[in-house]
Structure 1
Amino acid sequence: MRCVAAVLSLLALLLAGCSGLGEREQSPAAQDYRHAPLPGRVSLADSEATRAALLAQYLDWAGVPYRLGGNTREGTDCSGFIQLTYLQRFGIALPRDTSAQRHAGRLVGDARLRPGDLVFFDTTARERHVGIYLGKRQFLHVSTRAGVMLSRLDDGYWGARFTHAVRVPP
């Protein structure tokens, strides 16, 4: 019986990575979340340096396959890749799951997007997706079909599913 409970608990944790069941109240841990910047990384306040850092991350990770719950070169999901990218390139520790990442900064309008902003999508009625805006209507993310890749916000598929963007404080 304990084995079944452990397997079910592990499965629940893995499924929490890139999905959510609609809007939920923030947990106390998410409400009390504070960024933990690390020294020696690119500042999000510098749009050109941010774009360059994100393009470098893309070149380092392009084609790494999608894997639910992963955040390694063997496979990663969208929220794990976003968390890893923010830590490696900007020295900012973000929450692990998409639902908590939605609350890691302040809302920003589509017309005011700048490199480094988190972009969110509703891919189905029950699932959420996150990427990082690069500028010029492009964003970096992990596709379930193609792995780590660049896409366009004005693409028919992504444009129709874009919900909002969040600017994480530098």
Structure 2
Amino acid sequence: MKNSILYCLAAAAMVLSFFFEQAPAASGNLVVASSQQASLLSGLVPAFEGDNSRTLSSSDSVAYDKVAERLGIETNYTENQSLLATVASWLGTPYRYGSSSKKGTDCSGFVTRVFQEVYGLTLQRSSRSMFGTVKRVDKDEMQTGDLVFFRRGPGQPIYHVGIYLKDNKFAHAACNGGVMVSSLRQAYYSRNFYAAGRVDR
């Protein structure tokens, strides 16, 4: 009787020790499987620009940082990277009235080319006609990619357009410097700012 109890206890101990020895390995396999599944899913699910749930790779964040530095803005990695990179690639393009190439461009030519390259959209060619097609937004609700319009006083026509970046910075083709980034806080642009508009994209 004592022997059979001892045999039962020994058998139970062996079963339990086997179970506990295998549990960490099984658990480890579970972790590997779930991480492989996550990796597989991340490859299948497209990463959209501005998707806050996306984890940036180090090369993505380096690219963002370089572009942001070139534009003179601070990024939080949610802005449309393609837009920022495209705008940065136009910096320094000389001003040329009526043109829209990297050999020379005017303000509306610059905006239309960037929107064509980034969004595949064809905008109206002049700043005045562009203004007629946008949805007006309040100045304190502007987002990266909105358009900013300028005029020289009440009743005057719109004469200039740029692309809003963030933190009161916008990119535009200026008569006296070509494609550059300026601040809406600069006296000239603050005085002549008329409205902001959002293109349906």
CA deviation string 1:110-142 (max 9, x = no partner): 011001111000147566100010011100100
**Contact in 1 for aligned 2:171/2:179 (Cα 8 Å):** yes
**What is the one-letter code of the residue matched to 1:139?**
F
Q: Which amino acid letter does the alignment assign opposite residue 164 of structure 1?
A: A
* Match status 1:90 vs 2:119: yes
Find the residue that maps to 2:78 and give its secondary structure: helix
Partner of 1:69: 98
Report 1:2-21 matches (<5 A): none
CA-CA distance at 1:48 after TM superposition: 2.7
Normalising to structure 2: TM-score of the pair? 0.58
Partner of 1:33: none
- Mind listing any 5+ residue stretches in structure 2 that lack a counterpart? 1-47, 53-76
- 2:108 match: secondary structure: helix
Match of 1:79 among 108, 124, 144: 108
The residue number in structure 1 matching 2:182 is 151
1:49/1:127 CA distance change after superposition, 3 Å: closer
Change (3 A) 1:44 1:85: farther
Gaps of 5+ in 1: 1-41
Larger-gyration structure (1/2): 2
Distance 2:87 2:194 in 1: 23
Give the length in aligned residue pairs. Answer: 128
Give 2:78's aligned residue.
48
- Which residue number corresponds to residue 148 of structure 2? 119
**Which of the pair has the greater relative contact order for Cα pairs under 8 Å at 6+ separation?**
1
Percent of aligned pairs with the same amino acid: 34
- Spell out, residue by residue over 1:45-96, the C-alpha distance to the aligned partner (whole angstroms, 9 max, x if none): 999343x333212321111100000001110000011011001011111111
Task: Give matches, 1:24-39, under 5 Å.
Answer: none
Determine if contact 2:127/2:158 at 8 Å carries over to the other structure: no
Q: Which has the higher helix share?
A: 2
Conservation of the 8 A alpha-carbon contact between 2:149 and 2:158 = no
TM-score of the superposed pair, with normalisation by structure 1 = 0.68
